[in-house]
Amino acid sequence: MTSINPDYHAGRHFLQIPGPTAVPERIQRAMDRQVIDHRGPEFGALGREVLAAVKTVFQTTQPVIIYPSSGTGAWEAALVNTLSAGDRVLMVETGHFASLWQKMAVKLGLAPEFIAGDWRHGVDASAIEAHLAQDKAHSIKAVCVVHNETSTGTTSDIAAVRKAIDAVKHPALLMVDTISSLGSVHYRHDEWGVDVTVGGSQKGLMLPPGLSFNAVSQKAIAASRSAKLPSAFWGWDEMLEANKTGYFPYTPATTLLYGLREAIDMLHEEGLANVFARHERHAEATRRAVRAWGLEILCANPAEYSPVVTAVMMPSGVDADAVRDIILKHFNMSLGMGLSKVKGKVFRIGHLGDFNDLSLLGTLAGVEMGLGLAKVPHQAGGVAAAMTYLRDCAAQQSASTGATRIAA
Ligand SMILES: *Cc1c(COP(=O)(O)O)cnc(C)c1O
């Protein structure tokens, strides 16, 4: 006689939260090594290689600092290295993560000014321009924005923010959080004139949690020489000095650096442009599924739809967390929960990292079955709509490459 063991799940877990994302086996194997002496010659070679290679992901020729921390640490590093107590900073309320960064600025003794948002839109560059235009004395020292607001599935136009700052000839530093977009969404640190780009390892970079990044401009480094907020662990000066020879001022996350080297190799093997196009394709397929279900996408501006995460609104009276629970229990898939303001109102489908058409279709099938089991009012056919779109994309690809033309 057999009975079902509800705690046992065959097959792999679907980790479809918008980070941490599933770590590919290639990266797991790259990290499965003995830990080496972080002051020895073997480490120096690894350090030099990784510190140079990581710049390509930020599209920069300037230094990228790597911390053994979660992304939150790199947020703090960006602020404490460049600013002084009481400095005005301009931030934009795109959602939960922008709000957390703003709260951190308050805790550090800065004076953030927060442009209010409805959690359904990205950064309005014209509002930044108008705000900075009022600051004739240039007492605002930094503009801090989130590139991909992971809590709402909204991506902001960073080049437009740069233009807005330049339009009023304001000298404020531009700091951008790319924790959930780096390695998945088109991003250019140098070309867009970003002074500090904040990144993390566990989302688009396909690594476990534990590494974070500050890509820094010469202007940011100059600001760090006169900044007065205390910084010790996060200090750029000692990092930049030690990094010159491939080393770190304290013990780096050696194992994760092997993984980072492999992740960068994978991104370039596929080609960054192809990686970004793949994320765009999966996001479009996901939105077609959501629309076929008759449900609403939280991001209200199609030009700002996130390539990496889609937040799906539940009809009023439906608890999004109950739907997520059912999907986890029956199909062993984790979806992102609604955070703070949108808790229980949305769930989020992460479609980033090491991900392909069939992993997306499995994900969407789990959601569609979950909507049915949870008795959420919806129409069937979301998975079918996504399949049609992905099939058409594949057909287009065959036509353009001349490959696999089977039938006339
Ligand atoms: C995940 C995330 C963070 C927080 O990073 P941690 O690694 O959890 O500290 C900050 N900002 C954005 C946009 C994120 O997606």
Contacts 24+ apart (CB under 8 A), 361-365: 361/386, 361/387, 361/390, 362/14, 363/14, 363/16, 363/333, 364/285, 364/286, 364/289
Strand, coil or helix: what is 15?
strand
Whether residue 129 contacts residue 152, with contact meaning beta carbons closer than 8 Å, is answered with no
Encode pLDDT of 280-329 as tens digits. Answer: 999 999 999 999 999 999 999 999 999 999 999 999 999 999 999 999 99
Locate the ligand 1 atom nearest the alpha carbon of residue 97 and give its number. 11
- Distance from the first to the final alpha carbon of the chain: 54
CB atoms closer than 10 angstroms to residue 131: 18
Q: Which run of H or E residues covers position 132? A: helix 125-134
* Structure tokens given for 259: 């993984």
pLDDT of residue 408: 44
CA–chain centroid gap for 283, Å, is 14
Q: Is the CB of 72 under 6 A from ligand 1?
A: yes
User: Mutual orientation of helices 71-82 and 218-226 as an angle, nearest 10°?
Assistant: 60
Question: Residue 264: its pLDDT value, please?
Answer: 98
Q: Is the CB of 204 under 6 A from ligand 1?
A: no
**Band of the pLDDT at 338, cuts 50, 70, 90?**
very high
Residue 70 near ligand 1, beta carbon < 6 Å: yes
pLDDT of residue 6: 80
Establish whether residue 76 lines the binding site of ligand 1, counting it when its CB lies within 6 angstroms of any ligand atom: no
Q: Is the CB of 150 under 6 A from ligand 1?
A: yes
Encode pLDDT of 126-141 as tens digits: 999 999 999 999 999 9
Region of 210 (left: φ > 0; alpha: ψ -120 to 50; beta: rest) is left
Mean pLDDT, rounded, for 254-276: 98
pLDDT digits (tens, 9 = 90+) for 165-175: 999 999 999 99
Q: Quick check: CB of 165 below 6 Å from ligand 1?
A: no
Confirm whether 14-20+272-397 and 25-268 share one CATH topology.
no
Burial profile 242-267: b = 16 or more Cβ within 10 angstroms, e = fewer: ebeebbbeeebbbbbbbbbbbbbebb
Q: Provide the residue ranges of all domains of the chain, joining segments of one domain with +.
A: 14-20+272-397, 25-268
**pTM of the entire structure?**
0.97
pLDDT band at 2 (very low <50, low <70, confident <90, very high): confident
Q: Work out which ligand 1 atom sits closest to the CA atom of 212.
A: 7
Q: Is 180 in the pocket of ligand 1 (CB under 6 A)?
A: yes
CATH of domain 14-20+272-397: 3.90.1150.10
When pLDDT is cut at 50, 70 and 90, the band that residue 48 belongs to is very high
Q: Establish whether residue 259 lines the binding site of ligand 1, counting it when its CB lies within 6 angstroms of any ligand atom.
A: no
Confidence of residue 47 (pLDDT cuts 50, 70, 90): very high
Q: How far apart are CA 258 and CA 264, in angstroms?
A: 10
pLDDT tops 80 at residue 187: yes
pLDDT of 5: 85
Ligand 1 centroid to Cα of residue 41, in Å, is: 33
- Determine the residue of 145, 180, 181 to mutate for testing ligand 1's pocket, defined as the one with the most ligand atoms within 8 A of the Cβ atom: 180
What residue ranges in 257-403 does DSSP mark as E strands? 296-297, 309-313, 333-337, 346-350
> What does DSSP say about strands 14-16 and 333-337: parallel, antiparallel, or unpaired?
parallel
Q: Which residues are CB-neighbours of 52 under 8 A, at least 6 positions away? A: none
For residues 196 and 173, the answer to whether their CB atoms sit within 8 Å is yes
Q: What is the mean predicted confidence (pLDDT) over 359-385?
A: 98
Residue 7: what pLDDT? 83
Mean pLDDT of the chain: 97
Distance in angstroms (rounded) separating the CA atoms of residues 90 and 88 = 7
Residue of 72, 205, 348, 352 best suited for mutating to test ligand 1, as the one with most atoms within 8 Å of CB: 72
What would the pLDDT profile of 59-118 be if each residue is shown by its tens digit?
999 999 999 999 999 999 999 999 999 999 999 999 999 999 999 999 999 999 999 999
Q: Which fold has domain 25-268?
A: Aspartate Aminotransferase; domain 2 (3.40.640)
CA of 211 from ligand 1 middle (Å) equals: 11
Query: Residue 152 in contact with residue 311, Cβ under 8 Å?
Result: yes
